[in-house]
Amino acid sequence: MAAFYSFMAVLALVFIAAIGAGSAGMYTLFGVAIPYVALLVFLAGFIYRIVYWAKSPVPFSIATTGGQQKSLPWIKNSPWDNPYTVTGTVIRMILEVVTFRSLFRNTKIDLRVDNVKVVYGSAKFLWLFALIFHMAFFTILIRHMRLFLDPVPACIQKIEFLDSILQVGIPTLYQTDLLILVGLTFLLLRRIVDVKVNYISLAQDYFPLFLLLGIAISGIYMRYFIKADVISIKELTMGLLSFKPALPEKALETTFFVHLFLVSCLLAYFPFSKLMHLAGVFLSPTRNLPNNTRRQHYTNPWNDPAIKPHSYAAYEDDFREKMIEAGLPVEKEA
């Protein structure tokens, strides 16, 4: 049901934009006002969320220990999976962000042998398709800068060239356009088909997937099918960027407004959703702390500095007589 409601929500957004900017002709609202508001909500929400997280204390060092920790010199340790220095932690974080190493360790659990024996197995598909989706999305984001920068920088043209290097069809097919659909479809089907994942999936898991699918499909439709007027679109975007927004003389396609509205929704929704893992990964105590608690004391920021350490010797000094009376052993006789 969660999937169905999320799908209907995205469909409703599509219709709002299609009717609002299509038949109702509210171009300024959908082309200027909503994108500005969405960007402001995104920026303010992002800052709010980060500051909120940064204010939360981390009471314990809870680094994930993914391998042999540093101990005796003759025991081989895993410096990236179980880092004990800042450098190791930075390397772990970079590898996590770029290659999703923790997803690579994903396992599946199954009942085998007359449904009584629990069996664990490797499950790499989540890692593979998550990587495909994220890399494709990132490339698409960078590629879109051709509509936001004037003149178009050479590096963006290079990325565009590499992305369409197979030169399939006219306009040339971007590999990332296919890959993002493949990635998103897998991530969605995983939640629908796998009963265990389905059981724990909520509307806030499905909604971003449908929203991103809507954005990708409307973008693909504009490029390959209706050939949206890119020059007019860039006139609008550059107007927005220079804070002198003006709608181009030629009416823009309704699909463009649907695309823009869905992207605005994504931006405004982003800071309050699970998509904030973009920033959250850097603030995860399981990832950003070195596992060095046996060499270095980790101070709980909650600790009241007025409460001083109380050693056993001092404790015994306080209660020695009572302890002797009760027959408890003491280290120092009175």
Partner 1 sequence: MYHAKYIIPALLVFLAVVTFPFWAKGKAVYRVELKLPANQTECIEDTETMRTSHMQILDHWRDKVVREGERVYTNAKGVKYSMSLTNTCMSCHSDKEKFCDKCHNSVGVAPYCWNCHLTTPKGGK
Q: Is 5 in the site for partner 1 (CB under 8 A)?
A: no
Q: Is 305 in the site for partner 1 (CB under 8 A)?
A: no
Which residue in the set 146, 190, 223, 320 belongs to the binding site for partner 1 (CB under 8 A)? 146
Cα–Cα distance between 179 and 257 in angstroms, integer?
24
Q: Is 107 in the site for partner 1 (CB under 8 A)?
A: no
Q: Is 148 in the site for partner 1 (CB under 8 A)?
A: yes
Helix (H, G, I), strand (E, B) or coil at 71: coil
Long-range interactions of 10-16: CB distance < 8 A, separation 24+: 10/207, 10/210, 10/211, 10/213, 10/214, 10/262, 13/211, 13/214, 13/261, 13/262, 13/265, 14/214, 14/218, 14/258, 14/262, 16/261
Q: Is 97 in the site for partner 1 (CB under 8 A)?
A: no
Beta carbon of residue 241, minimum distance to partner 1 (angstroms, whole number): 5
Q: Which of residues 33-92 bind partner 1 (CB under 8 A)?
A: 42-43, 46-47, 50-51, 54-58
Q: Is 152 in the site for partner 1 (CB under 8 A)?
A: yes
Q: Is 281 in the site for partner 1 (CB under 8 A)?
A: no
Cα–Cα distance between 111 and 118 in angstroms, integer?
5
| Smaller CB separation from partner 1, 81 or 163 | 163
Q: Is 142 in the site for partner 1 (CB under 8 A)?
A: no
Q: Is 94 in the site for partner 1 (CB under 8 A)?
A: no
Is residue 39 within 8 Å of residue 240, measured between CB atoms? Answer: no
Sign of the alpha-carbon torsion through 269, 275, 278, 280: positive
Q: Is 276 in the site for partner 1 (CB under 8 A)?
A: no
Beta carbon of residue 279, minimum distance to partner 1 (angstroms, whole number): 8
| Smaller CB separation from partner 1, 115 or 167 | 167
> Residue 97: left (phi > 0), alpha (psi -120 to 50), or beta?
alpha
| Per-residue contact string for residues 168-197; x = within reach of partner 1 by CB under 8 A | --xx--------------------------
* Count of residues touching partner 1 (by CB under 8 A): 42
Cα–Cα distance between 142 and 145 in angstroms, integer?
6
Which residue in the set 16, 26, 66, 235 belongs to the binding site for partner 1 (CB under 8 A)? 235
Q: Is 251 in the site for partner 1 (CB under 8 A)?
A: no
Q: 94 burial class (0-12, 13-18, 19+ CB within 10 angstroms)?
A: exposed
Region near partner 1 per CB under 8 A, out of 59-67, 100-108, 180-188, 237-245: 237-245
Which residue in the set 33, 165, 168, 241 belongs to the binding site for partner 1 (CB under 8 A)? 241
Q: Residue 237: which H helix or E strand, with range? A: helix 230-241
Beta carbon of residue 158, minimum distance to partner 1 (angstroms, whole number): 10
DSSP state letters, 280-301: HGGG-HHHHS-S-TTTSPPPPT
Q: Is 227 in the site for partner 1 (CB under 8 A)?
A: yes
Is residue 222 within 8 Å of residue 256, measured between CB atoms? Answer: yes
Cα–Cα distance between 324 and 334 in angstroms, integer?
9
Region near partner 1 per CB under 8 A, out of 116-124, 141-149, 197-205, 212-220: 141-149
Point out which residues bind partner 1 (CB under 8 A).
42-43, 46-47, 50-51, 54-58, 145-152, 156-157, 160-161, 167, 170-171, 226-227, 229-231, 234-235, 238-239, 241-242, 244, 279, 282-283, 301
